[in-house]
Amino acid sequence: MAKSSRAEAAAKAAQMRAEAARKDRQRKQIIAAVVAVVVVIAAVVIGAVVANRPQSAPAAGGSGSTSASADAALAKLVALPQATLDASPAPNPNQAPAKLEGGTALTQDGKPKVLYVGAEYCPFCAMERWPLIGALSKFGSFSGLKPTTSSSDDVYADTPTWTFAGSSYTSDVLAFEAVETADREKKPLEPLEGENAAVFQKFNPEGGIPWITYGGTHATNGATVDAALFEGKTYDQIIAGIEDPTSDIGKSVNPAMTMMTAQLCQLTGGQPSNVCTSQAVMSASVLLKR
Amino acid sequence: MASAERTAQAVRQRPTWLAPVSLGLSVAGLAVSAYLTFEHFTDNSTLACSVGGVVDCAKVTTSAWSYVLGIPVAVLGLLFFVVTTALCLPRVWRSPAAWLDPARLGWLTVGLGMALYLVWAELYRINAICLWCTAVHVITFVLWMVVLFGQILSPPASAESSEDAVDAA
């Protein structure tokens, strides 16, 4: 009897020791888990704080060397040889402007009008201005285009480009009007109003930009170039890509430029003929939506 | 001699909140992941920003960061929560199989690591936050904490009779 009592007491003592050891182990595990949770939270908070530190604005046309690069790139863009576009791949159907059902002719000073609606912060507008400037330069000339970059805190940050705000376009065969609705900091810049606002709201109720209408009968919504190709690129790199029809940029931007040119040729009735009868434009015109 | 045979059946006792909370979070994560997957495959992916309102050009683009090894991140998230939901079912929590606890915690730690990587990509590469993605990241983090502490606070597995087994969940 005494032996079984001693055995029971020993078993109970062992059980209590095991339970105490388990509780001690559990306490240590809880402490380790709390430390792990705190480390994760701290990492995310510190990461978010560092990411949101104010950064010095990059050369939005401010630094001398970037401004020189922008000017050099623009000079090459507006004078891009037709042979370069003829040697580039053909556009794909997605790059062709959509027909606006119920669209009526948009004119200005007796000429068919191209309306661009965008914003300076918008990275896709930044990209789309490259082929648009190149295409429009075949029908007239720009002045006052200022270098800038898209927003620093959005996708494809700081995409090099030019702003249409404050610029002018002259042509014998086309009218071009651009409305940059906001600046790089997303503050209101130029008002979208009157006939421009009416056509934009009618055919683009979701308000996507860049939105370009060709004569009020056709339009593109968004960038028609491959956005990823512009990431991290400089003016020099982008124009070098455009000048090389075999480069990735050349294979995307040049067909977009050709498609725009073909659409503009439809507006101008094939003028100027040297542009509108070029090999690339003639090929692209089969994609025009009639 | 009609004593009923009692079968001993090993079950894990768990804190009462563990199974419903973890399952609820898993299902929530599954629902949001399903929505993100649906949006990934049906969004017209127009490369456009929006005029006015909340500006988030990332909403309408598919960046390179939305793929891992060629697989959409949204699909990976959906698969993650399908497995997580299975691991957090009440009957699985009751199972005494020794490998389940480390497997479950390991799986959720991998998910947490992936969520942290995606948060880094949002903050430092894409420079934009996707609200639905953030919801999934938060659910993953909370689920990881729930499972971590739930497993620590669970008593060790013990054998009980099937008639007396108490479902701690």
Residue B55 is predicted with a pLDDT of 53
Strand pairing category for A175-180 and A111-118? parallel
- To 10 degrees, the CA torsion angle through B120, B123, B124, B126? 110
Contact A261, A138 (CB under 8 A): yes
CB contacts of B60 in chain A (<8 Å) are 208, 222
- To 10 degrees, the CA torsion angle through B137, B142, B147, B149? 140
With CB atoms and an 8 Å threshold, state whether B116 touches A44.
Answer: yes
Residues A148-167: pLDDT tens digits?
999 987 778 899 999 999 99
Phi, psi of A234 (to 5 degrees): -100, 175
Residue B31 is predicted with a pLDDT of 95
pLDDT band for position B128 (cuts 50, 70, 90)? low
Residues B69-123: pLDDT tens digits?
878 888 999 999 999 999 999 999 999 999 999 999 999 999 999 999 888 877 7
Rounded Cα distance between A86 and A251, Å, is 12
pLDDT band for position B57 (cuts 50, 70, 90)? low
Residue A62 is predicted with a pLDDT of 47
- Cα–Cα distances (Å) from A244 to A206, A252, B71, in that order, read 36, 11, 32
Helix (H) or strand (E) holding A143: strand A141-143
pLDDT band for position B58 (cuts 50, 70, 90)? low
CA distance between the termini of chain B: 35
CA distance between the termini of chain A: 107
Select from A200, A217, A218 the least CA-distant residue to A209. A200
ipTM > 0.90? no
Q: Under 8 Å CB-to-CB from A259, ≥6 apart: which residues?
A: A91, A95, A96, A97, A224, A284, A287
CB contacts of A26 in chain B (<8 Å) are 152-153
Residue B38 is predicted with a pLDDT of 83
Residue pairs between chains A and B whose CB atoms are closer than 8 Å: 95
Structure tokens at B18: 């563990």
If you average pLDDT over every residue of chain A, what do you get? 91
**Is residue B55 less than 8 Å (CB to CB) from chain A?**
yes
With CB atoms and an 8 Å threshold, state whether A121 touches B46.
Answer: no
pLDDT surpasses 90 at B61: no
pLDDT band for position B12 (cuts 50, 70, 90)? confident
Rounded Cα distance between B59 and B39, Å, is 10
With CB atoms and an 8 Å threshold, state whether A123 touches B57.
Answer: yes
Cα Rg for chain A, rounded, in angstroms? 30
Residue A53 is predicted with a pLDDT of 67
Residues 113-132 of B with CB under 8 A from A: 116, 119-120, 123-124, 126-128
Residues of chain A with pLDDT under 50: 56-62
pLDDT surpasses 70 at B129: no
Choose the closest CB to A155 out of B57, B123, B149. Answer: B57
Rounded Cα distance between B49 and A120, Å, is 11
Select from A56, A77, A51, A91 the least CA-distant residue to A282. A91
Residues 1-40 of B with CB under 8 A from A: none
CB contacts of B49 in chain A (<8 Å) are 119, 121-125, 154, 208-209
Residue A82 is predicted with a pLDDT of 94
